[in-house]
Amino acid sequence: MPEGKFCNKKPINTEEELRELLSDTRGTTYYKEMEELDVDSDAIQATLQKTLKSRLKTWLEVCAHCGLCADSCFFYIANNRDPKQVPSYKIQSTLGEIVKKKGKVTNEFMRHVMDTAWGKCTCCNRCATYCPFGIDMGVMFSYLRGLCFTQGFIPWEMKIGSGMHRVYRAQMDITTEDWVDTCEWMAEEYEDDWPGIEIPVDKENADIIYTVNAREPKHYPEDLGEAAALFHLAGENWTVPSEGWEETSLAMFAGDWAGCKMQVESVYDAIDRLKPKRMVVTECGHAYRATVIEGPYWCGRKDGKPPVETLHYVEWVAEALRNGKIKIDPTKKIKEPVTYQDSCNYIRNAGLRKCAREIMSYIAEDFREMKPCGEHNFCCGGGGGMNGLGRYRDERNTGFKVKRDQILETGAMLVITPCHNCWDAVRDLEETYKVGIRWSFLKPLLLEMAIVPDHLKPKE
Amino acid sequence: MYDFVTGPLLWLSLIIFFAGLIFRTVYYIKGLDTFLDRVTYGVNTAYGVKSAIKSVLHWIIPFGSRSWRVKPIFTILVFIFHIGLVITPIFLPAHNLILEERWGFRLPTISDTTADIMTIAVIVSALFLIIRRIALPEVRILTSAYDYLIMLITVAPFITGFISFHQISDYQFWVILHILCGEIMLIAIPFTKLSHIVLFFLSRIQIGMDFGIKRGGMKGGGKTW
Ligand code: SF4
Ligand code: SF4
């Protein structure tokens, strides 16, 4: 059987296909079908010839086999220094082989490639910092995922994720109506505590267009309420778009580059439509990476930038604290030891280390850095889509050990995690290892600490 | 034989060496692509250049990068090895003598003693690098026969050069072998991963530009290697 009903080379493009695939619980049939899926070697080879150019080719070729990258990878450390987890080995034994064999690989091999590309790498790009040649396995595995996607060898959840973006322009099944309703609902919810609060939808020429992670409207709508309260407190002239509000990209984790483009274009269209001065992205790392850092390239923007200047939430918070738009009550600062989880996507890969430190200087009395931290920090263990993949649950939980030990070493029991993947990962690592740590986004903490001027307080 | 290996064969290997490396460089740069690599090499280039310079400097200075610092012994080995590899042949008195005889110019030279020390340093550090390859599981798994062949090609001119210079055994034989080994190395460089004598710099410049232009350089964060 070359192409399965669920597992095939075609991406999901309709709601119906999506629902069918979802009905195959945990992808049982999907993965069975995968064992029969044909490999189109010619197509692989054609793609390689078109897209494997200077930098990837050179990386594969000049790798000195020195092993310096081994210790940089948290999977290697967490798996008792298993040589099979050395970044260079992982890529040479997958992409390297495909290139050597000119795409002529077996079905079994492709499944091994999938299990490596999604189960042994979170595309955290840490190894690039430690390799003398700057060889970036995160970039290469991401490329390899793209290759796997075209061949249909992708984890079940990834196929669904990419399909969600293609169908809903969001990583979850949220329609425009659902989203706008949630905005209205949250504005009402917060009205009692914050008289005059608004979540303005589709307001033109606002100073800020705010975009989110679909999990917020779907699972924790209060996050949206909190964002509104903080914008209200800071006196910002802001809006959310009715369409193009989703910043995340499971399509990026899936290697579905066409899906990535569709998703990001919806956001850029919203910007073109509403003409805001700037964009602010919620506390999510990969969303920022997808829409701000990589997105412009998927859409063919020659300047490599989104249509307007874009801030990650931590940049906006740092700015608001710096300008005094939000003032912190010194008596309410966090007194206990607290640490900060540097997200790979906006710290290592987008240079926002200083913003995070600046925020901590305003809100924490006893801030403890992890070792190492900043651009050198380890991945939370849940990045690159890992959090959502049932097939690699054990791999992920093992990987958590590194982050667990890093946190415990700081002596802090509270971890600030302004990134959805990090937040989930720390939650799940606590669930797995029960070490007694707590975790939080910035928004609820800021709301507890901020000084609210009298005119914004509810009248008793 | 001596005339042949120091005449036409030397010319040939030098031509292959230089032309090969020029080709590699041009081919690399031509294959860079804003959209495939997702780096706007041509926009905000100044940020890229700044970051590229940092990206190279931190890695050619011993202990300049965190990676070098966390592996001090390996770092010392690598630097001794590479410094010896580059300095010895270029500034060796004997080589410069030939240079002057043939083409009428010479470079400044190191003393014969320094050359000896560096040659031994290259051979010894190579030995340790090979032992490391075998001893550490994370390096062993990456290693293939090709890696040993490359090492042999690199170190052979040093071993044969040392033997012939000190006239330990039949000088005529060893000096010809030495020249042949040197020529094999020159020819091998553009065709093997020894091409990293240029590709190291190109690759570091590329990743530097990537981080400088796209991944944070413009936010003032700047990559600290
Ligand atoms: S990108 Fe991260 S997870 Fe992947 S191999 Fe490199 S260090 Fe390991
Ligand atoms: S550190 Fe770089 S050169 Fe060394 S083995 Fe890893 S990828 Fe290859």
Place of tokens 């044909």: A38
What is the Cα gyration radius of chain A? 22
CB-closest option in B37, B138, B225 to A86: B138
What average pLDDT does chain A have? 97
Nearest CA to ligand 1 atom 2: A124
B185 CA distance to ligand 2 middle (Å): 22
pLDDT surpasses 70 at A305: yes
The verdict on A345 touching B (C-beta cutoff 8 Å) is: no
pLDDT surpasses 70 at A22: yes
Q: Which residues contact B107 (CB under 8 A, 6 or more apart)?
A: B90, B91, B96, B99
The letter for the amino acid at A393 is: R
Q: Which residues contact B88 (CB under 8 A, 6 or more apart)?
A: B110, B115, B118, B119, B122, B158
Give the count of Cβ contacts less than 8 A between chain A and B. Answer: 157
Q: Is A88 in the pocket of ligand 2 (CB under 6 A)?
A: yes
Q: Is A133 in the pocket of ligand 2 (CB under 6 A)?
A: yes
Interface test with A, best of B51, B65, B138 (most A CBs within 10 A): B138
Please give, rounded to a whole number of angstroms, the shortest distance from the CA of B103 to a CA of chain A. Answer: 34
Q: Mean pLDDT over residues B178-202, rounded?
A: 97
pLDDT at B3: 86
| Residue whose C-alpha is closest to residue A63's, from A34, A99, A33, A87 | A87
Interface test with A, best of B40, B140, B215 (most A CBs within 10 A): B215
Buried b / exposed e across A426-447, counting CB within 10 Å, b at 16+?
Answer: bbbbbebbeeebebbbbbebbb
Q: Is A230 in the pocket of ligand 1 (CB under 6 A)?
A: no
pLDDT at A85: 98
Where in chain B are the domains?
A: 2-219
More confident residue, B12 or B98: B12
Q: For A39-83, how does the pLDDT look when each residue is reduced to its tens digit (9 = 90+)? A: 999 999 999 999 999 999 999 999 999 999 999 999 999 999 999
Task: Return the CATH class of domain A39-154.
Answer: mainly alpha
Interface test with B, best of A79, A85, A133 (most B CBs within 10 A): A133
CB-closest option in B28, B204, B215 to A350: B215
B17 CA distance to ligand 2 middle (Å): 25
**Nearest-angstrom CA–CA distance, A97 and A60:** 10
Where in chain A are the domains?
A: 39-154, 167-322, 330-449
Interface test with A, best of B67, B85, B132 (most A CBs within 10 A): B67
pLDDT surpasses 80 at B221: no
pLDDT at A205: 98
Q: Is A91 in the pocket of ligand 1 (CB under 6 A)?
A: no
The verdict on A309 touching B (C-beta cutoff 8 Å) is: no
Q: Mean pLDDT over residues A233-257, rounded?
A: 97
The verdict on A58 touching B (C-beta cutoff 8 Å) is: yes
Q: What ipTM does this complex have?
A: 0.95
Pocket test for ligand 2, best of A69, A73, A76, A137 (most atoms within 8 A of CB): A69
Q: For A149-194, how does the pLDDT look when each residue is reduced to its tens digit (9 = 90+)? A: 999 999 999 999 999 999 999 999 999 999 999 999 999 999 999 9
pLDDT surpasses 70 at A1: no
Buried b / exposed e across A12-46, counting CB within 10 Å, b at 16+?
Answer: beeeebbeebeebeebebbbebbeebebbbeebbe
| Residue whose C-alpha is closest to residue A286's, from A219, A346, A340, A240 | A346
Place of tokens 């010479």: B106
- The pLDDT confidence band at residue B169, using thresholds 50, 70 and 90, is confident
Q: Is B141 in the pocket of ligand 2 (CB under 6 A)?
A: no
pLDDT at A24: 96
Q: Residue A372: is the preceding peptide bond cis (ω within 30°)? A: yes
Place of tokens 């425009």: A176
Pocket test for ligand 1, best of A121, A286, A392 (most atoms within 8 A of CB): A121
What atom of ligand 1 comes closest to residue A122's alpha carbon? 3
**Chain B partners within 8 Å of A76 (Cβ):** 138
Say yes or no for a CB contact (<8 Å) between B147 and A65: yes
pLDDT at B102: 85
Q: Is A78 in the pocket of ligand 1 (CB under 6 A)?
A: no
A397-400, long-range: CB within 8 Å, 24+ apart, which pairs? A397/A428, A397/A429, A397/A432, A398/A75, A398/A78, A398/A79, A399/A74, A399/A75, A399/A78, A399/A122, A400/A78, A400/A425, A400/A428, A400/A429, A400/A432, A400/A433
pLDDT at B1: 82
List the 70-99 stretch of B: residues with Cβ below 8 A of A: 70-71, 74, 78
pTM of the prediction? 0.96
Place of tokens 């998927």: A298
Q: For B84-105, how does the pLDDT look when each residue is reduced to its tens digit (9 = 90+)? A: 999 999 999 999 998 898 889 9
Task: Return the CATH class of domain B2-219.
Answer: mainly alpha
Say yes or no for a CB contact (<8 Å) between B137 and A351: no
List the 130-149 stretch of B: residues with Cβ below 8 A of A: 133, 136-144, 147
- The pLDDT confidence band at residue B49, using thresholds 50, 70 and 90, is very high
Q: Percent of chain B at pLDDT above 90?
A: 89
The letter for the amino acid at A246 is: E
The letter for the amino acid at A71 is: D
Say yes or no for a CB contact (<8 Å) between B39 and A76: no
Q: Mean pLDDT over residues A227-256, rounded?
A: 97
Q: For A365-419, how does the pLDDT look when each residue is reduced to its tens digit (9 = 90+)? A: 999 999 999 999 999 999 999 999 999 999 999 999 999 999 999 999 999 999 9
Q: Is A75 in the pocket of ligand 1 (CB under 6 A)?
A: yes
CATH of the domain spanning A330-449, picked from 2.60.120, 3.30.1490, 3.40.50, 2.40.128: 3.40.50
The answer to whether domain A39-154 and domain A330-449 are alike in fold is: no
CB-closest option in A131, A132, A375 to B224: A375
pLDDT surpasses 70 at B222: no
Rounded to the nearest 10 degrees, what angle do helices B196-209 and B8-30 cross at? 20
